[in-house]
Amino acid sequence: MNALGGHRQSNPVSPQAKSEPLELLAFLEDFSDELEDALDIITPNAHLRMALHLLQGHYNARTITPTSLVSASRVPYATANRRMKEMIEDGLIEQRPRTKSGKSFSMHPSEKLLAQWVQLSGRLRRLADGHFGGQRKARDTEDYYFSASYTAAQSVPPLSVRTEPLKVPGGIRVLVHGDPTFMVMDNLKRQFEQVIGIEISQRAFSIDRLREEGLRNAARPTSRYDIIAVDLPWIGEFAEKGVLMPLDQVMDLARLDPADFHTAGWKAAHWGGRAYGVPAQTTPELLFYRRDLFADAGLEPPATTDAVLKAARKLHDPRHGRYGIAWNAARGTALGHTVLMTIADFGQPILDLPAIAGGFGTDHLASGGYQATIDTDAGLLAAEYLLELLKYSPPDILSMSWYERVRPYAAGSIAMAYGYTLLAPYFELDETSPAYGQTGYLPHPAGPGARPVAPVGGYVMGIPANLAPERVPAAVEALTVFTSPEAQKLYVQNGSRTNPRYSVGSDPEVRRTSPIFEAIDAMSWRDELQFWPRPPVPEIGGIIKICGEEFHDMLRGIKSPRVALRTAQTRADALIRPDGSP
DSSP assignments along 372-410, one per residue: B--SSHHHHHHHHHHHHHHHTS-TTGGG--TTTTTHHHH
DSSP letter at 429?
A: S
Chosen domain end from 512, 529, 546: 529
CB-count exposure of residue 145 (10 Å: 0-12, 13-18, 19+): exposed
Chosen domain end from 529, 544, 576: 529
394 within domain boundaries:
yes
97 within domain boundaries:
no
Same domain, 301 and 433: yes
Same domain, 352 and 434: yes
Same domain, 330 and 272: no
Same domain, 405 and 500: no
Same domain, 208 and 348: no
Same domain, 376 and 423: yes
Which residue range is the domain that position 151 belongs to? 114-159
Q: Where are the beta strands (DSSP E) in 104-244?
A: 105-109, 172-177, 200-205, 227-231
Chosen domain end from 456, 490, 516: 456
Q: How many Å is the maximal CA-CA distance in the chain? A: 90
Q: What is the pLDDT of residues 227-281, one digit of tens each?
A: 999 999 999 999 999 999 999 999 999 999 998 998 888 999 999 999 999 999 8
64 within domain boundaries:
no
Same domain, 203 and 230: yes
DSSP letter at 464?
A: B
Of 463, 510, 486, 479, nearest to 161 (Cα)? 486
Give the count of beta carbons closer than 10 Å to the beta carbon of residue 515.
15
Spatial separation of the C-alpha atoms in residues 165 and 104, rounded to whole Å:
14
Same domain, 399 and 442: yes
Q: What is the pLDDT of residues 389-419, one digit of tens each?
A: 999 999 999 999 888 899 999 999 999 999 9
Spatial separation of the C-alpha atoms in residues 33 and 26, rounded to whole Å:
11
550 within domain boundaries:
no
Q: What is the structure's pLDDT at 463?
A: 98
| CATH for 412 | 3.40.190.10
DSSP letter at 465?
A: T
54 within domain boundaries:
no
CB 519 within 8 A of CB 556: no
Same domain, 296 and 439: yes
565 within domain boundaries:
no
* Residue type (1 letter), 460: V
Same domain, 278 and 289: no
Same domain, 384 and 319: yes
Task: Give average pLDDT by consecutive 10-residue segment, the chain, 582 residues.
Answer: 42 48 77 78 85 80 81 85 87 79 78 76 69 49 37 69 87 91 87 91 90 96 97 94 96 92 90 94 94 97 97 97 96 95 97 90 92 97 98 96 90 96 91 96 96 93 97 96 94 89 89 90 88 94 96 97 98 83 53
Domains: count for the chain: 3
Of 247, 243, 279, 277, nearest to 261 (Cα)? 279
Q: Under the phi-then-psi rule, with left for phi > 0, alpha for psi from -120 to 50, and beta for the rest, what region is 61?
A: left
Same domain, 263 and 371: no
68 within domain boundaries:
no
